[in-house]
Every structure is written in structure tokens, then in C-alpha cells.
Amino acid sequence: MSVFPLETIPSITKYPTFSNRIDTIAIMAEILTETKTGLKKTRIICKYNLSYKQLELYIKTLLEQKLLARKSDEKGREKFVTTTKGNNFVKNFQALQALMLEKIVQPFTQLQIS
């Protein structure tokens, strides 16, 4: 698997610029984790302290990437549910986080205190 700078990936760069791409990916992974059972927009806004504009941007991105799907509950209210592709994204993101944490923590655990 090749690694490309984020700026070269068309699906990322066609959206408005986010302030910090790593935070953006982390927030997307969190949203996908929470929407496994289905959540309404209001609940997502409250949980992550997002503005409506920010939420719309995240939802648009996740829907276009087919990481999130729109569903209706029994009362016809709109909910968002994580897709299989979205679940795979979350698993890969968590694996990357674990790998990065291991690389950051490991040098400190190897220090010998005299």
C-alpha cells in the first residue's frame, strides 16, 4: 500500500479546508464510532460540540465517501448509520493510533533511570 500526502488525494482536497486534518480525521472516526447504532444530527452536534455548519461538512464528506448512510427510523426521522466501509475506516484508524502510540511511548519506556 502506497502512502500519499493528503494534498494529493482528490477526495480530501475537494472539500473546504479544515483547520487541522488530523483532528478532522479523528472527529470523523469518532462520529463513525458513535453512529454504529444510528444517531440524529442533534445528538452528534451535542456530543462533539460542533456547529451546524461543521456538522454539515462532516456529514457531507462521510456520505460522499460512503462511510455513513442516511436512514429513517420508525417515526420517519432522519438518522445516520455507519456503513461497513465506515467500520473498516474506524478499525484502520484505531490500528494507526495504536501504532503511533507504541512508537511514541516506546523510547520513553526504554530509558534507564540511574
d(CA 32, CA 62) in angstroms, rounded, equals: 9
**Could you tell me the residue range of the domain that residue 101 belongs to?**
6-109
Please tell me the predicted confidence (pLDDT) of residue 13.
41
- Displacement of CA 67 from its chain's centroid (Å): 9
114 found inside a domain: no
Residue 65 inside a domain? The answer is yes
The pTM for the full model equals: 0.67
Number of Cβ within 10 Å of residue 92's Cβ equals 11
Q: What is the pLDDT of residue 102?
A: 72
**pLDDT, one tens digit for every residue, the chain (114 residues):** 444 444 444 444 444 444 455 678 888 998 998 888 888 888 888 888 888 898 899 999 999 999 999 998 888 888 999 999 999 999 999 888 888 777 665 555 555 555
Query: Which three cell numbers, joined as nine digits, stand for 89?
Result: 475506516
Q: Give me the CATH number covering residue 63.
A: 1.10.10.10
Domain count, the chain: 1
Distance CA 35, CA 29 (A): 10
Would you say 31 and 58 are in contact if contact means Cβ atoms under 8 Å apart? yes
Q: How far lies 90's CA from each of 74, 100, 107, in Å? A: 27, 15, 27
